[in-house]
């Protein structure tokens, strides 16, 4: 998982130069990080009704959180607080977790912006409905500051005239 991040980010053409001109990056999908130890929760008795303390306890064993804390990968990225039940691994067509697996937060949305005030995650959640997948989808809503472009003849490098706000879902 960490190797995939390093390999993908390192193979991007002029990765660091590109990041110097990019304003925002969203990195999302099945990142395949797992929960490393069983918290003792009886998962199928309340997959949607976990308490905030249960979730905090689960996150302590989350591989992505551990790797970010050790600064091995995704250190520049942010993630909104997780307040939902794990999104993997379900018995297909049910809301029951697979019995022989520790449920995990494999599906994630991470974000990076040049200025932290440019992008704000206003919601981060999952959809826990029966599905034809063993994953449950994760979604985030962001508030983004946008810049009105100024015609070239009126521009001085990085001169910004006005700002507006928009919402991304």
- Backbone phi, psi, residue 127, to 5°: -110, 110
The b-or-e profile of 102-115 (16+ CB within 10 A means b, else e) is bbbbbbbbbbbbee
Give the model's confidence band at 41: pLDDT under 50 very low, under 70 low, under 90 confident, else very high.
confident
Cβ contact 107:124 at 8 Å:
no
Total tally of structural domains belonging to the chain: 1
Q: What is the pLDDT of residue 61?
A: 93
Please indicate whether residue 139 or residue 165 has the higher confidence score (pLDDT): 139
Quick one: average pLDDT of 102-127? 93
pTM here is 0.75
Cα separation, 169 vs 142, in Å, equals 6
Please indicate whether residue 97 or residue 12 has the higher confidence score (pLDDT): 97
Full domain range(s) for residue 22: 2-168
CATH at residue 42: 3.60.10.10
């Amino acid at each position: 998982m960490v190797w995939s991040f390093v390999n993908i980010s390192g193979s991007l053409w002029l990765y660091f130069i590109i990041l110097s001109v990019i304003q925002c990056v969203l990195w999302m999908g099945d990142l395949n990080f797992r929960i490393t130890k069983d918290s003792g929760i009886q998962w199928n008795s309340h997959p949607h009704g976990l308490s905030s303390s249960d979730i905090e306890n689960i996150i302590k064993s989350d591989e992505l959180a551990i790797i970010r804390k050790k600064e091995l990968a995704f250190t520049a990225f942010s993630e909104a607080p997780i307040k939902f039940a794990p999104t993997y691994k379900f018995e297909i067509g049910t809301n029951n977790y697979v019995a022989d697996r520790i449920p995990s937060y494999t599906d994630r949305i991470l974000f990076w912006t040049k200025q932290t005030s440019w992008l704000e995650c206003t919601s981060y959640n999952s959809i826990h409905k029966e599905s034809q997948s063993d994953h449950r989808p994760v979604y985030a809503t962001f508030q983004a500051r946008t810049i009105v472009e100024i015609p070239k003849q009126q521009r001085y490098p990085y001169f910004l005239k006005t700002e507006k706000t928009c919402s991304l879902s």
